[in-house]
Structure 1
Amino acid sequence: MNRSELGTALRALRNASGKEAKAVARSAVMSASKLSKIETGKLAPSADDVDRILTAIGVSDDVKAEYMEAARAVATEATAWRLIQRAGLHKAQQRLRDVEARMSLLRVFQPALVPGLLQTPEYMRAILSRHADLSEATVRETISARLERQQVLYDQTKTLRFVITEPVLRWLIVPPLVMAGQLDRLVTVSRLPNVDVRVVPLGQPQTDIANHAFVIRDDRAVTVETVHAEVVVTDPRDVAVYVDKFEGFARHAVEGSDMQSLLTTIRDDLLRQRESG
């Protein structure tokens, strides 16, 4: 089933239900224009779009499972960062908040930056302020929206797992004092009962390559961060590849008190470096 066939099938299901497009779009939290473009094959829906449309239509679980499988098989989306920025970075954060509200399991692998859900406001500002084309208002809105997203950390109905490589914690993309505060934040969050933070140490032999950052939500979708775009993968076979990669790094990472001791050591190194500078 291609994009056009999927759109036609969704329209047929809606018509069979007797529900008007506007009502379905409203329940699916999208514009009527977007729904129309999906139904006519002009826009490739994400798996999440299809899930919300089918829920709004009210199909049976069997029908939903059938069409979700088809949606995941055809939906690999790439959205350029410039388009995400043009639409509003704070709006992107709000969309992620809504997605995370519906998930039960999150896995994040980060070899470049501290994951957004674990960032301090100072770290966020330092990262965002490196982009000269972002206004102060945009930076403030994005920080506020990301902090709001972080409330998911305290929802004990969800499991959140983070694997970070050690260079992330040592690379001075931000000043040492900002990084030291960020490490304190990681230690604090790691003590939450539903949050698992692990660090892959530099000194341990590895059998895999830390290619790029990615996020897995409920074994259903993977968001991959590349230099120019955000790619969403939903084919179950591809999702499984990322799950295996995440679990492999998790097995080679330190956790609990060992992880906290490593972070404390790095923090002390950063503070000494600041004093000697």
Structure 2
Amino acid sequence: MNRAGNDAGVGVATVSDPDPPDTEPRARLGAELRRLRDLAGISGRDLAQRIGISQSKLSRIEKGNAVPSIPQVLDWAREADASPETLRVLRLLTEAAHSEVDTWRSALATRRHLQDEVRERESAADVVSTFQPSVVPGLLQTAEYARRVFATFQLPYAKDDLAAALAARLDRQLALYDSDRRYEFLITEAALRLRPGPHRVLLGQLDRISSLSTLDNVSIGVIPNDIEATTTVPHGFVIYDTGDDETLVSLELIDASRLVRAPEEIELYRRCWELLGRMALFGDAAREFLAGLAVEIRGSAGD
């Protein structure tokens, strides 16, 4: 980012180049907000008090580790005596930071896999809520099911990278046994029927889901095909609930991943989660459904 001290007037701070190519929006936003505060000569403690956030939250914002709401950015800009043009650019940066898109091609150009980044989001959340309409969620996958799912990825893994991704996914699953964190899953029957290999792979997968559903901190709901729909959601999503304004939603699209941080958009996903939950079977009813599905699969298995 071009950080030349562009002052439009005495005591009025401005933002230059709003969109450099290789920096995350939240990092750009944090850097510009820090620059505005420095130009205005306001300490972090003082500014935090003025706009009604903690000093630690202000520090995380400036480092790009947290994203402020638009009202907080507007208050920040007002306290720093920002120009109208600066305010416009800050709003654009904030909107971009609240909805980040990272293409799989660009993400994997610099990383062998993305499992460690997902684990960081899971570790920061108190509750992880996953809806999956097309495949068993990664945290519930058996090793063989996961290996075969990775092999079908749109951008094929190299052999060593696939092994590393699989090992990292299985390592993530250890967190399911941490009783201090809650995991919630809603899985459609279509996802449960997806067979990325021989019938035995799917049967082993269904057995694992049933077993994990008995953990006290794990809730697994299954949504039968013939249930009356209360909503329709065409893609999976994960809500990482931190209990504060750093909650986020993750989406996996065909070409990219998207992170949503805007509170009003997160509320939409919470509402979808509630409606989907009304369609689901839980506890003994869910395990009975899984057992019935396994019986059907065994009856049709020819391999």
Alignment TM-score, normalising by the size of structure 2:
0.70
Q: Match of 1:102, as an amino acid?
A: A
Q: 1:151 offset after TM fit, Å? A: 1.5
| Residue of structure 1 equivalent to 2:293 | 266
User: For the residues of structure 2 that align with 1:94 and 1:198, how far apart are their CA atoms?
Assistant: 26
Q: Which digits, 9 at most, give the CA deviation of each residue in 1:45-83, with x for residues without a partner?
A: xxxxx96952897xxxx99x946x988754211111112
Alignment root-mean-square deviation, CA? 3.1
User: For the residues of structure 2 that align with 1:210 and 1:200, how far apart are their CA atoms?
Assistant: 12
Q: Match of 2:208, as an amino acid?
A: R
Q: 1:13 offset after TM fit, Å? A: 5.3
Match of 1:107 among 126, 129, 139: 129
Greater RCO, 1 or 2 (C-alpha within 8 Å, sep 6+):
1
| Residue of structure 1 equivalent to 2:273 | 246
Q: 1:11 offset after TM fit, Å? A: 3.9
| Residue of structure 1 equivalent to 2:218 | 195
User: For the residues of structure 2 that align with 1:107 and 1:72, how far apart are their CA atoms?
Assistant: 25
1:124 equivalenced with 2:146 (yes/no): yes
User: For the residues of structure 2 that align with 1:229 and 1:268, how far apart are their CA atoms?
Assistant: 37
Q: 1:218 offset after TM fit, Å? A: 0.7
Q: Match of 1:241, as an amino acid?
A: L
1:222 equivalenced with 2:223 (yes/no): no
- Structure 1 or 2: more helix by fraction: 1
| Residue of structure 2 equivalent to 1:137 | 160
Equivalent residues in 2 for 1:202-221, closer than 5 Å: 202-218=225-241, 220-221=247-248
Match of 1:149 among 149, 172, 179: 172
Taking structure 1 as reference, are residues 193 and 13 closer, same or farther at Cα in structure 2, changes over 3 Å only? farther
Q: 1:225 offset after TM fit, Å? A: 1.4
Taking structure 1 as reference, are residues 208 and 97 closer, same or farther at Cα in structure 2, changes over 3 Å only? same
| Residue of structure 2 equivalent to 1:32 | none
User: Does the 8 Å contact 1:74/1:235 carry over to 2?
Assistant: no
Taking structure 1 as reference, are residues 138 and 16 closer, same or farther at Cα in structure 2, changes over 3 Å only? farther
Count of equivalent residues: 239
User: For the residues of structure 2 that align with 1:51 and 1:230, how far apart are their CA atoms?
Assistant: 26
Equivalent residues in 2 for 1:1-277, closer than 5 Å: 6-12=30-36, 54=60, 66=72, 73-75=95-97, 76-90=99-113, 92-131=114-153, 133-218=156-241, 220-275=247-302
Partner secondary structure for residue 215 of structure 2: coil
Q: Which digits, 9 at most, give the CA deviation of each residue in 1:107-155, with x for residues without a partner?
A: 1010011111111110111111234732211111001111111121111
- The percent of aligned pairs where both chains have the same amino acid is 29
User: Does the 8 Å contact 1:111/1:212 carry over to 2?
Assistant: yes
Q: 1:254 offset after TM fit, Å? A: 0.3
Q: 1:233 offset after TM fit, Å? A: 0.7
| Residue of structure 1 equivalent to 2:81 | none
Q: 1:265 offset after TM fit, Å? A: 1.0
Alignment TM-score, normalising by the size of structure 1:
0.76
User: For the residues of structure 2 that align with 1:218 and 1:251, how far apart are their CA atoms?
Assistant: 20
User: For the residues of structure 2 that align with 1:241 and 1:116, how far apart are their CA atoms?
Assistant: 23
Taking structure 1 as reference, are residues 127 and 5 closer, same or farther at Cα in structure 2, changes over 3 Å only? closer
Taking structure 1 as reference, are residues 103 and 270 closer, same or farther at Cα in structure 2, changes over 3 Å only? same
Q: Match of 1:202, as an amino acid?
A: N
Q: Match of 1:216, as an amino acid?
A: I
Q: 1:102 offset after TM fit, Å? A: 1.6
Q: 1:247 offset after TM fit, Å? A: 1.2
Gaps of 5+ in 2: 1-14, 19-24, 45-55, 76-90
User: For the residues of structure 2 that align with 1:52 and 1:184, how far apart are their CA atoms?
Assistant: 46
